[in-house]
Amino acid sequence: MTHALTDDAVTKDGCAIRASGVGRVFAGTKGHQVIALDDVHLEVAEGEFVSLIGPSGCGKSTLLRIVADLDHPTSGSLTVFGKSTHQARVDQDYGIAFQQAGLLPWRTVAANVGLPLEVHGVARSDRQTRVEELLELVGLTDFARSYPDQLSGGMQQRVAIARALAESPRLLLMDEPFGALDEITRERMQAELVRICSETGAAVLFVTHSIPEAVFLSDRVVVMTPRPGRIIEIVDSRPTAGHARDDEFRDAEEFFHTIARVRELLHGGPVAAARGVETR
Ligand SMILES: Nc1ncnc2c1ncn2[C@@H]1O[C@H](COP(=O)(O)OP(=O)(O)OP(=O)(O)O)[C@@H](O)[C@H]1O
């Protein structure tokens, strides 16, 4: 069993993230400024899956870091569930998963998953119950006592996702979580993530370099361009009625159409290549 979202967990305006005119300027070398983000407007609804895609340096990670209160805008504002990013962090409103699973090698799988609960003083028996739920959710019940180096890359990433979900966050922030995995494992993980999201109802802000991954997973794909980092367009990628996000959807015409649309926006045409974006 997983923790579903309760009604009182839903904000009045139904918005998980609201970015209004967000800009982030870094001081570069030789006095030059780097405009990592410029006038970014974005709303992510409760339970919505939104991907950020764009060439290297377009500000995807910067935006994610601002949402996670690891960085701050130099202009504009950003709220998470209607609160400041600082308050959302204090309230543990989101879980984070990055490309490197970042597991503690001396702790078992169960102890890694339960770490956030331990840090926040959850009682041992409650912790155990929750860890069991989470391991079931990510299909790793039989590996509770294993250590990270006894697991494959995909399994380690599933442990990281379970850990990110430990406190039933309403929002998951994911930066290239499947970037280091082989293609087959990656597709399997995508299917798992779709299932986990539908079971938990969490909203997701997902950074990826893969167009098919973004289109497969997302309700909307935010296409970005670098220098300055801006949103070019937001593409609706929800499967139409009659389609679910499953293996069949990967062969559907609408899937290819949406991929072609995102690719066109990124490359200015279907053939040219943009640095840092995978089209496979
Ligand atoms: N701490 C920093 N100091 C100076 N410049 C920075 C800093 N962090 C990011 N930048 C610059 O901001 C721009 C956006 O970087 P960011 O990492 O957000 O891009 P990205 O789209 O996530 O790139 P990638 O796809 O390569 O991960 C880049 O030009 C980068 O060099």
Asked if 44 and 200 touch (Cβ cutoff 8 Å), the reply is no
CB of 228 within 6 A of ligand 1: the answer is: no
Domain that holds residue 203: 13-93+171-267
Q: Specify whether 178 is located in the same domain as 80.
A: yes
* pLDDT score of 68: 94
Q: Which of 168, 193, 222 is the last residue of a domain?
A: 168
> Which residues 6+ apart lie within 8 Å of 214 measured at CB?
51, 53, 206, 208, 221, 237, 262
Distance 108 CA to ligand 1 centre (A): 34
Q: Which of 118, 147, 168 is the last residue of a domain?
A: 168
Q: Specify whether 79 is located in the same domain as 202.
A: yes
Residue 239: inside a domain:
yes
| Model pLDDT for residues 165-220, shown as the tens digit of each residue | 888 889 999 999 888 778 887 888 888 889 888 888 999 999 999 999 999 999 99
* pLDDT score of 218: 96
Q: In the numeric block, which tokens belong to residue 255?
A: 């899937």
Q: What are phi and psi of 56, to 5 degrees?
A: -50, 130
CB of 36 within 6 A of ligand 1: the answer is: yes
Choice from 34, 37, 98, 208 to test ligand 1 binding pocket (greatest atom count within 8 A of CB): 34
What does DSSP assign to residue 24? E
Residue 272: inside a domain:
no
- What predicted TM-score, i.e. pTM, was given to this entire model? 0.87
Distance 119 CA to ligand 1 centre (A): 31
Q: Atom 29 of ligand 1 has which residue's CA nearest to it?
A: 57
Q: Specify whether 87 is located in the same domain as 131.
A: no
Number of structural domains in the chain: 2
Residue 8: inside a domain:
no
CA–CA dist 83, 196 (Å, integer): 25
Q: Specify whether 179 is located in the same domain as 261.
A: yes
Q: Which of 168, 188, 205 is the last residue of a domain?
A: 168
Continuous segment of H or E residues that includes residue 128: helix 124-137
Q: What is the CATH number of the domain that holds 33?
A: 3.40.50.300
Q: Specify whether 21 is located in the same domain as 154.
A: no
Closest CA to 82 of 23, 172, 7, 9: 9
* pLDDT score of 11: 52
ipTM reported for the complex surpasses 0.95: yes
Number of H-type helices and E-type strands within the chain: 9, 9
Q: Atom 8 of ligand 1 has which residue's CA nearest to it?
A: 62
CB of 62 within 6 A of ligand 1: the answer is: yes
Q: Specify whether 50 is located in the same domain as 180.
A: yes
| Model pLDDT for residues 84-123, shown as the tens digit of each residue | 999 999 988 998 888 787 899 999 999 999 999 998 889 9
